[in-house]
Amino acid sequence: MKYIIGLLTAGLLLFGCSKEGGHEETHEMHEHADDHSGHDHGDEGHEGHGHDDHEGHDHEVITGITLNNGEKWVADKHTNDKVAEMKNELANYKKSKDYEKLTTNLVADVKELIKGCTMDGEPHNQLHYWLEPYLGMVKGMKEANSDADKSAKVESIEASLNQYTEYFK
């Protein structure tokens, strides 16, 4: 089952992000040493995107993401809606304490976020500074072995979702 989920995630990462106008932008998936996965852009306009900036453990603060001349970046409605949905999943978890359900729902939400991506240009680049470590956090949720580990992973997810709203509107 994990193999199938991994293949689906890889497929969405490879082909999911599309630009406005309907044409597809293909991203190659790569793995960091700390198991954060994401995108290798390879097209113009992505210079300065240092993937090494994202290495570390789940509690690391994202480096590389910046504001747009002191203002939040404009994200597409789909991305903002998916982040809001993930925050709602987290709020539901705090009431139910159903970690498996939270994990399953966040994995599905991330797949939908990637599949419906229409952002491009610098806002898209900045999104990836946030998204790549977040993907690793969500993937890492399945590896939690204790209540303390689960709690730490949920705290990291919450911090990352809050960070999204610091940089995007």
Contact 32, 131 (CB under 8 A): no
Strand residues in the chain grouped as ranges (E): 28-31, 37-40
CA distances from 46 to 64, 75, 121, 125, 126 (A): 12, 17, 8, 6, 9
Instruction: Identify any residues that bridge with 117 across adjacent strands, giving them in sequence order.
Output: none
pLDDT on residue 63: 59
Instruction: Identify any residues that bridge with 24 across adjacent strands, giving them in sequence order.
Output: 18
DSSP state of 53: G
Residue 44, token pair as written in the block = 């113009």
Instruction: Identify any residues that bridge with 71 across adjacent strands, giving them in sequence order.
Output: 68
Residue 23, token pair as written in the block = 């044409």
The pTM of this model reads 0.65
Q: Is 141 helix (H, G, I), strand (E, B) or coil?
A: helix
Mean pLDDT per 10-residue segment, the chain (169 residues) = 40 42 32 35 36 40 81 97 98 97 97 95 95 96 95 97 97
Question: How much is the CA Rg of the chain, to the nearest whole Å?
Answer: 15
DSSP state of 75: P
The helices-and-strands tally (H runs, E runs) of the chain is 5, 2
pLDDT on residue 56: 39
